[in-house]
Amino acid sequence: MTAAHPTPSADDAIPTNTPSNTTAPITTPSSTTTPNHTPNPTPNHTPVPTPHTKPHAFTQQRLDPLGALAVWPIVPGVAALGFGYAVLTTVLQADEIWQPYLAVLTLLAAAGASAVLVLAGGRSQSPVRQTSLLLIMGLGLAAHLLDQASRWGSNALVQDDFGPIMLGLLLVALAPFRPWRELAVAAIIAAFVIALVALPQVPFRSLTVPPGIYLVVAVTPVLALGLAAAAYSRRMVRLLLAWQTDARRAIARRTEESRGRVVREVLEQQRAALQPGVFPLFEDVLARGEVTKADIVRANELAAGVRRGIVAHIDETWLDAVIARERAGLLERGKDPLLVVADPEHRAAHFGTQQRAATAALITLLCLAPGFDPRSLVVQADTEPESDPDTQIDPPSDRQQRHSGTDTFSIRLALDLPPRRVRALLRSYIAVLRMVFPWVRVSIRRPSLTLEFGDKRPDPPSTLG
């Protein structure tokens, strides 16, 4: 992600001067009245900013999407190294090959494993699925088996076979993207297959040593690299979870420390809102010693204004605050913005911490993008029944437990750029969205751009006939 683009941050997810998980009023540049209430106490439970996955399936990519994107450029290098090593050893051991067509299939399988690794780890395909791991390891094992078959009976040395090292490198490249248990199991299975193939070839070796020595030499590379990859994945997940725990505790401490300041600010805002109208009315009534019909009418008008202000601020969500911020920024740049939020049921309030940050950063990017029509942005929430509660990013609050339905958000706008530039502009942001939302879809029809994402893939519309 380039420095010129906005990056997700906590400030993008939570309105300024409002502690997490409170209902303190949100002030925007267009606010004219202030709600006449004090912030509710902060709940003891602070949502865990973790992805939509079970604890045993945590990975660096899911817990730290931006960090995984930063690591991704290493993946093509590791894939090229593994395939290059396979080609080099095949060429150097050409005198041992008695089935050339099997050697060709060997290199094709090795190339397929490397290609799938690069494609699966790409930004446009994130996160890396378990099926990708199975396909990569399957092609890698197929390459090793084909290599052994092409040299069966003439393979003089076991230590110069490329299969164990290539398989280990593939697992190392997958370390940031798959759980450590899967990596460890894959390494053990690969070592078992390699041992099964190496054992019958002991009589054909050029050196006479116990069979166990050959087995140890054959399986050591894949076990060493594979278990190292599993250890890296496990350690990174633990560090990230510990960091998130510390961050939650720090947020809770800041919330408690800022409670008194927020209450004082609310009281000052309430006083400022009452001073122009309510206080003069009271002073006039006290001075006259009686209440007139005009006073009653005026009091009703002031009460209606206060009620409107309370309702307006209660209905605001973090998404409204983000849109208000971008609207103010467009006005400062001399634009005439018309940014619309259609979320009457406040579905945005169900977003987790990472989801809010990713969505806010995406909206900021779109508002800053060249060719953006400031009067075209529409953020809309749609709901379908029977949502799966396990897809929530954060543990459900009481409000979330009462909510049922599949939340699907769409962002529609006009962006007058070639589709290739739009894809390049959104690539990193879409990769992050795929980490924090189970379902993401992008539709580009110049100048129209539509982004849809939600907690569950919506069912296709049924057809009758």
Which domain does 380 fall in, by range? 10-22+317-454
Predicted pLDDT of residue 264: 73
What is the spatial distance between Cα 130 and Cα 62, in angstroms, rounded to a whole number? 13
Whole-number pLDDT of residue 85: 92
- Name the least confident of 25-34, 70-79, 210-219, 241-250: 25-34
Q: From CA 84, how far away is CA 141, in angstroms rounded?
A: 16
Residue for token pair 């510390």: 246
Cis peptide leading into residue 164 (ω within 30°): no
Q: Does 44 reside within a domain?
A: no
pLDDT at 46: 36
Which of 86, 114, 106 lies closest to 174 in space, CA to CA?
A: 114
Which among 82, 200, 218 has a CA at the least distance from the CA of 140? 82
For residues 334 and 202, membership in a common domain is answered with no
The larger pLDDT score, comparing residue 315 to residue 281, is at: 281
pLDDT per residue as tens digits for the range 131-145: 999 999 999 999 999
Alpha-carbon distances of 253 from 42, 305, 330, 393, 400, rounded to whole Å: 11, 36, 35, 23, 24
Residue 9: which H helix or E strand, with range? none
Assigned domain for 289 exists:
yes
**Is the model more confident about 311 or about 326?**
326
Instruction: Answer yes or no: are the C-beta atoms of 292 and 59 closer than 8 Å.
Output: no
Q: Are residues 333 and 428 in the same domain?
A: yes
Whether pLDDT at 34 is above 60? no
- Residue 289, classed as helix, strand or coil, is coil
- CB-based contact 449:422 (threshold 8 Å): yes
The CB-side HSE value for 276 (13 A sphere, CA atoms) comes to 9
pLDDT band at residue 312 under the 50/70/90 scheme: low
Same domain, 106 and 175: yes
Q: Indicate if the pLDDT at residue 247 is higher than 50.
A: yes
Domain end marker among 186, 217, 242: 242
CA angle 420, 426, 429 (to 5 degrees): 160
pLDDT score recorded for residue 324: 87
Among 418, 294, 399, smallest CA distance to 348 is for: 399
Is residue 97 included in any domain, yes or no? yes
Work out the pLDDT band at 201, boundaries 50, 70, 90: confident
CA distance to 210, 342, 420, per residue, from 434 (Å): 51, 23, 20
For residues 72 and 212, membership in a common domain is answered with yes
User: Going by DSSP bridges, is the β-strand pair 406-414/378-384 parallel, antiparallel, or unpaired?
Assistant: antiparallel
Model pLDDT, residue 440:
87
The CATH number of residue 368's host domain is: 3.30.565
Same structural domain, 323 and 300: no
Whether 302 and 324 share a structural domain: no
Query: Which range has highest mean pLDDT (93-102, 261-270, 304-313)?
Result: 93-102
Question: What digits encode the pLDDT tens for the residues 211-243?
Answer: 788 888 889 999 999 999 999 999 988 888 888
Q: Are residues 283 and 160 in the same domain?
A: no
What does the pLDDT read at residue 313? 61
pLDDT band at 270 (very low <50, low <70, confident <90, very high): low
Question: Do residues 199 and 90 share a domain?
Answer: yes
Please indicate whether residue 243 or residue 8 has the higher confidence score (pLDDT).
243
Closest of 319, 317, 307 to residue 35, by C-alpha:
307
Q: What is the pLDDT of residues 440-449, one digit of tens each?
A: 889 898 889 9
Last residue within a domain, chosen from 220, 242, 264: 242
Res 169 pLDDT > 50: yes
Would residue 328 count as lying in a domain? yes
> Does 256 map to a domain?
no
Same structural domain, 59 and 125? yes
- Distance, CA of 24 to CA of 37 (rounded, Å): 8
pLDDT-derived band at 17 (thresholds 50, 70, 90) equals: very low
Q: According to the model, what pLDDT value does residue 122 have?
A: 73
What count of other Cβ atoms lies within 10 Å of the Cβ of residue 418? 11
Q: Is residue 86 part of a domain?
A: yes
Residue 41, pLDDT above cutoff 80: no
Q: Please tell me the predicted confidence (pLDDT) of residue 242.
A: 86
> Could you tell me if 401 and 293 lie in one domain?
no
pLDDT at 48: 39
The yes-or-no verdict on residue 80 having pLDDT over 90 is: yes
- Residue 426's closest CA among 364, 360, 362? 362
Does residue 258 lie in a domain region? no
264-281 mean pLDDT: 70
Q: Which of 315, 337, 369 is the last residue of a domain?
A: 315
421 or 11: which leads in pLDDT = 421
Q: Token pair 């370390």 is at which residue?
A: 175
Query: pLDDT tens for residues 372-395?
Result: 988 888 888 876 544 444 433 344
Number of structural domains found in the chain: 3
Any domain includes 435: yes
pLDDT of residue 387: 42
Q: Clarify whether residues 90 and 112 are in a common domain.
A: yes
Mean pLDDT rounded to a whole number for the chain:
76
The answer to pTM > 0.85 is: no
Most confident listed range (31-35, 66-70, 103-107, 330-334)? 103-107
- 329 lies in the same domain as 438: yes
